[in-house]
Amino acid sequence: MQFMLLFSRQGKLRLQKWYVPLSDKEKKKITRELVQTVLARKPKMCSFLEWRDLKIVYKRYASLYFCCAIEDQDNELITLEIIHRYVELLDKYFGSVCELDIIFNFEKAYFILDEFLLGGEVQETSKKNVLKAIEQADLLQEVFFLCCLTKAIGCLGEVWEGS
């Protein structure tokens, strides 16, 4: 996979993950063109289209378009499965995911994507493992947060006692 884009029906970009090195200007240009092209498609049309020298696989879930660009030898049908698997992961994690969840917790969405795909290829085929890894990361974050909090309170206490 070369890149994955998530955008709303109004054309606002919610997530972008690039697996090829491109300059910012090029990324913006590609995003703009692709969003226009995909949004122009009618609902009954098939999920694949050819754009430049890439194959674009897109699927619409509620108000979000999930759009992947794959190379010539890649399998389009399995890319559809990849998109679906990602949506399932998000769903499991957020519990009935909607666009707002992704807007407000976009860093979590990126974490989940990075656990699932690496360099554009699937690295973990088990749903359970991906979610377990995210849970562990969350736990670590909380523990870290609590430690910081106790430390801060401790410091404050010292300062008080001092004064």
Name which of 92, 113, 84 is nearest 14 in CA terms: 113
Indicate which single residue of 45, 53, 119, 161 sits in contact with other proteins (rule: CB under 8 A). Answer: 45
Give the shortest CB-4-to-other proteins separation in angstroms: 16
Q: Which is nearer to other proteins, 40 or 159 (CB)?
A: 40
Phi then psi dihedrals of residue 162, to 5 deg: -60, -45
Indicate which single residue of 40, 46, 100, 159 sits in contact with other proteins (rule: CB under 8 A). Answer: 46
Question: Rule CB under 8 A: is residue 80 a binding residue for other proteins?
Answer: yes
| Contact in structure between 50 and 56 (CB atoms under 8 Å) | yes
Question: Rule CB under 8 A: is residue 133 a binding residue for other proteins?
Answer: no
Question: Rule CB under 8 A: is residue 47 a binding residue for other proteins?
Answer: yes
**Which one of the spans 10-18, 31-39, 44-52, 141-149 is the region binding other proteins (CB under 8 A)?**
44-52
Give the shortest CB-64-to-other proteins separation in angstroms: 19
Indicate which single residue of 18, 19, 48, 111 sits in contact with other proteins (rule: CB under 8 A). Answer: 48
| Contact in structure between 70 and 1 (CB atoms under 8 Å) | yes
| Contact in structure between 116 and 86 (CB atoms under 8 Å) | yes
Question: Rule CB under 8 A: is residue 81 a binding residue for other proteins?
Answer: yes
What is the total residue count of the chain? 163
Integer-rounded Cα Rg, in Å, for the chain is 20
What angle, rounded to 10 degrees, do the helices at 76-94 and 127-162 form?
Answer: 40
